[in-house]
Chain A
Amino acid sequence: MATIPIGADRTIAAVRAVRRSYRVLRDLPMVPMLILGVLASVAVLAPVIAPHSKLDPVKPTREQCQAKFGTPDCPYVDNAPPFWSPGGTLDTPLGTDFLGRDVLSRLLYGARISLIVALTGTLFAGAIGTVLGVLAGYMGRWWDEIIMRITDAWLTLPSLVFAILLSSVRGPGLWNVVLILALVFWSRYSRAVRGEVLTLRERDFVKLAEINGIGKLTIIWRHLIPNVMNTVMVLFSLQVGVAVIIEASLSFLGVGVPPPEPSWGLMMAQERESLMEGRWWLEIFPGICITLLVLSANMLGDWLRVRLDPQLRNR
């Protein structure tokens, strides 16, 4: 066997490390993660990068007013098309809506609302569902029966209908929508988590902890919850997409996040008639944003499920 000089050792090691990370990276779902990353950063940076206000109409120039209304003075120029169409300007690159507000700015701020609603709603649902699922799986017969019967009953209620019902009780509003999402979707988690816990509690390390006299709550906190996180994370990423669509549907039915705050779902719901009128940009741009968000979340969730499921991992 030929000897390899020491310097080359390091190079080979480095090359191997790069190759390994390349393999790891290649396995990652790059496109969804990239999209989600962009959306998240847009949401965070919205006040900085948005060219105009999200609520106030854009101040028009005299030429714009003249072109649209025939007079040099007007409060705002409404329904301006994107900059590549006649009548559009680079100042409002994606056009303006019925109140003369810049669509791009509203989309950027809308990312905040849509993401906040979807993420926190799903987070709360996941938290409630996980806790209840663990309790049901671990704490004994009565806990299990009661929680599972309630979960079953909850699951028979169709989600959108339930959401509308709850919104009739609470009224529209951002935090109300979050609350509604949490209350509607927790039952999806508790079922799956309970199943996981039932298997987990038979595992050696749990039995060992029990024998050693460690309290139930500590076991739950230290052993059970971390180990169900895989399942929860998969569910979470799949549910985020559902939450976004539910929020949009609630806005369509008039009981979602109320105007004038921009949320993508609300923008889509409000501008349906504009699509019929030919002012496609008001409906299509928020539609693209929602579709990208939900599609990416779903693909990420699918990838996670494959990765975290030991049976499917070596495919």
Chain B
Amino acid sequence: MKRYVLVRALYSVVTLWLLVTIIFGLVRLTGDPVAMKAEAGADPAYVAQLRQSWGLDRPLYWQYLGFVGRLLRADFGHSFEKSLPVRDIYFERLPNSLKLGFAAFLISLALGVPFGMLSALKVNSVWDNAGKAVALLGLSMPGFFVGLVLIIVFGIELGWLPVLGKGSSAFVWSAPSTWAMFWFRDWGHLAMPAFALGWYFSGAMLRITRSGMLDVLGSDYIKLVRLKGVPEPMVVAKHALKNSLIPVLTFAGLNLLIMVNVAVVIEVIFNWPGVGQLLYDALSNRDFPMVQGVVLMSGLMIVLLNFTIDVLYGYVDPRIRLSR
């Protein structure tokens, strides 16, 4: 077991290091950040000073070593665009993304799981297709379109929900009193972006639930339960559902992380101050440290999660840790 854990830890480290290198190189191909701050006619002294303060006048390997070295001290550098430490800005925004991600996750479960179950129970029927259509509709329409329609209908025409940002609730790391309140206030601001994002992912939830249930419903275990004479609703509710939720929950964590990190379009439309918008701004402004920092943090989260899942699976199922 220990060997298994060590091997998987090593894999994680290698993956992370590869990610670091890839993003370092890729981001430097995108252009010159100095151009964003130095307008036409900026004096060369200012430009040179800027370049030097950002470390861009050093050779590439020097920058790389410096970058990795600082990473080991959990220092992501200073944002070019926002002139403040990347780490501070990132952790200021992260709770917002987590809030949005959690809410979207719950919505995707609420939409995807029931329809998935319905699809599996009435395979290839009208219900199956209708359920699939509704959930898949969420990922068949671009997010900016869904968001815009929601804004127009609920924000402008009906006036029920606010359309901008996240309201005034702030999660301040240094003030624990804000930690709890943050999650429950301003849900009105959260409703539309969470719905748009959640609907998109409900398709995936539906698929997972459906195939999970189909697997379980065809298994010997369920046949046995049926043979025992248990009424059908009980078969479904008590036995099939429980077992089919396992793959859902396995993917749940991964999907949640993806939602947290990927909601760029939704965040831009609703002006939600999360890490997606942070990353998009950073990319637009060629803000190398910020791009590197955000991508690495999201990569770190995913790698850690995968590692945890692998270890848990290895613990639960001996076949896995003994195989390749």
Contact = CB atoms under 8 A, between A and B. Distances in A.
| Contact, chains A and B (beta carbon distance below 8 A) | yes
Instruction: Please classify the interface of chain B as helix (H, G, I), strand (E, B), loop, or mixed, using the class held by over half of its residues.
Output: helix
A265 interface: yes
A89 interface: no
Interface in B214-269: 214-215, 218, 258, 261-262, 264-265, 268
Nearest to B144: A252
Nearest to A251: B142
Contact of B140 (A153, A165, A294): A294
Interface in B1-27: 11, 14-16, 18-19, 22-23, 26-27
Contact of A302 (B30, B144, B207, B299): B207
Interface string A220-246: 000000000000000000000110010
A268 to B, nearest CB: 6
A48 interface: no
Nearest to B151: A276
B78 interface: no
A252 B148 CA distance: 12
Contacts of B11: 149, 152
Q: Is the interface of A mostly helix, strand, loop or mixed?
A: helix
Given A159-B262, A252-B265, A272 B144 contact: yes
B15 A156 contact: yes
Contact of B139 (A150, A283, A294, A315): A294
Contact of A311 (B15, B218, B283, B286): B218
Contacts of B48: none
Among B26, B140, B306, B324, chain A packs the most CB atoms within 10 A around the CB of B140
A291 interface: yes
A275 B141 CA distance: 15
Given A169-B30, A276-B152, A290-B142, A249 B18 contact: no
Contact of A158 (B141, B261, B324): B261
Contacts of A298: 136, 139-140, 203
B313 interface: no
B142 A249 contact: yes
Interface residues of A, number: 43
B289 interface: no
B92 to A, nearest CB: 19
A302 B132 contact: yes
Contacts of A169: 26, 29-31
A295 B283 contact: no
Contacts of B142: 245, 248-249, 252, 265, 268-269, 287, 290
B19 to A, nearest CB: 5
Interface of A: 149-150, 152-161, 164-166, 168-169, 198, 241-242, 245, 248-249, 252-253, 265, 268-269, 272, 275-276, 283, 287, 290-291, 294-295, 298-299, 302, 311-312, 315
Given A154-B22, A165-B26, A311-B215, 15 more contacts: A152-B18, A152-B306, A153-B15, A155-B302, A161-B295, A165-B291, A168-B30, A169-B26, A245-B142, A248-B144, A249-B265, A252-B144, A268-B142, A268-B144, A272-B145
10 contacts: A149-B14, A154-B22, A161-B280, A165-B30, A252-B144, A268-B142, A275-B149, A275-B152, A295-B133, A299-B132
